[in-house]
Amino acid sequence: MSASTSYGARPWTFYVLASLFTLFVIFLYGPMFGVLILSFQGPSASLAFPLRDPSLMWFDELFNPRRTGDVVGALGRSLPLAVIVMVLTVFISVAAGFAFRRRFWGATAIFYTAIASLIVPGLVLSIGTLVTFRYLGLTASWYGSALGAHLSWALPFGLLIMFAILGRLNPSYEEAAYDLGASKWQTVMGVVVPIVFPGMIAVALFGFTLSYDEFPRSWLTVGSKNTLPLEIWTMTTNVTSPALYALGTVTTVVSFIVIAIALSSIFLIQRKRSRGK
């Protein structure tokens, strides 16, 4: 029994956990804000704080390159690649999710085979892909070998999400549709896909961001033209101006736009279902 009676006083563990969480948030977003702020650095071109004479000159430098690399070209490859990976991941994950709803012979083996590629180190996979393409006499390119390498990374995530979502889907929805005279295709398009649509958006989000950010699996597989993460890496070694920070800001903004679109569409769907039109 404690000496004084207190109501609602917080235990000491609250303060420990709150401090831990604060540190976590600082580490999570601190570096991003550092880059964001320094991308507005003035003509002093200092790579470190403080920020002097804020300007947009490094963004200009980025899109009208004199000393920086081919940022616009890299973005022009990274974005379509991410979109293709996204579409394929959604399509294949949903199809596989349906297949795995009914247990079939070898299902477990196939599942683990698909998931195992997650533990293969990306750089090793990159080398392997290049070696195999060379052996087969194929040319490495962002839309060929890199696409395959990216899918080996994005697909297992998509599969895991889709399995969880379809596994939770009550089979009685499909049975009710069948009971009411719907064909298999009508059931999928009219009932199952609309119900799991928020999950499909989540898979799309993973597919896009995993590809858009990917460095190790892109390293040797993109061929002669770099994707954005590779371009940034190149710049860190030979560009020593805040243009690097400006690039960081631009890529982060692109990622955030994609996430915002995905989350707000999930939110809108959920709200429509709970509140009506």
Partner 1 sequence: MNSIMTKPIQASGMVAHQGSGEIRLTNITKQFGNSYAVRDINLTIPHGSYCCLIGPSGCGKTTILRMIAGHETPTSGEIHIGGQMVVGKPPVERGTAMMFQNYALFPHLSILDNVAFYLKMRGVGKEERRRKAQEMLQRVQLDHLKDRMPAQLSGGQQQRVALARSLITNPKLLLLDEPLSALDEFLRLRMRGELKSLQNELGITFVHVTHTQPEAIALADMVVVMDTGRIDQADTANTIFNRPKTPYVARFMGGQNVLTGTVEENAAGVVKLRSAGGSVFEAKAEGAGRVPGAQMSISIRRDRIMLRRRGGGADTAGLNAIGGVVEATEYQGSYVKVTINVGGGVFVANVSDDAHFAEPVVMGDPVVVSWNAADVHVLSKVDTGAAGDPYLDGIP
Q: Which residues bind partner 1 (CB under 8 A)?
A: 170, 172-173, 175-183, 186, 190-191, 194-195, 197, 269, 272-277
State the CB neighbour count (10 A cutoff) for residue 10: 9
State the CB neighbour count (10 A cutoff) for residue 113: 11
CB of 170 to partner 1, least distance (A): 7
CB of 167 to partner 1, least distance (A): 17
To the nearest 10 degrees (0 to 180), the angle between helices 71-101 and 228-238 is: 140
Instruction: Closer to partner 1 by CB, 197 or 233: give it.
Output: 197
Could you tell me if 208 and 82 are in contact, meaning their C-beta atoms sit under 8 angstroms apart? yes
Instruction: Closer to partner 1 by CB, 20 or 107: give it.
Output: 107
CB of 252 to partner 1, least distance (A): 34
Instruction: Closer to partner 1 by CB, 191 or 243: give it.
Output: 191
CB of 180 to partner 1, least distance (A): 4
How far CA 122 is from CA of 138, 146, 220, 231, 274, in Å, comes to 20, 12, 10, 18, 42
Instruction: Closer to partner 1 by CB, 163 or 178: give it.
Output: 178
Could you tell me if 218 and 229 are in contact, meaning their C-beta atoms sit under 8 angstroms apart? yes
CB of 92 to partner 1, least distance (A): 23
The rounded radius of gyration (Å) of the Cα atoms in the chain is: 24
Question: What DSSP state is assigned to residue 190?
Answer: I
Instruction: Closer to partner 1 by CB, 13 or 274: give it.
Output: 274
How far CA 168 is from CA of 101, 192, 198, in Å, comes to 10, 12, 13
**110, 85, 46, 127: which is closest to 212 by C-alpha?**
85
CB of 87 to partner 1, least distance (A): 22
Asked if the peptide bond before residue 50 counts as cis, ω within 30 degrees of 0, the response is yes
To the nearest 10 degrees (0 to 180), the angle between helices 243-275 and 228-238 is: 150
Instruction: Closer to partner 1 by CB, 66 or 103: give it.
Output: 103
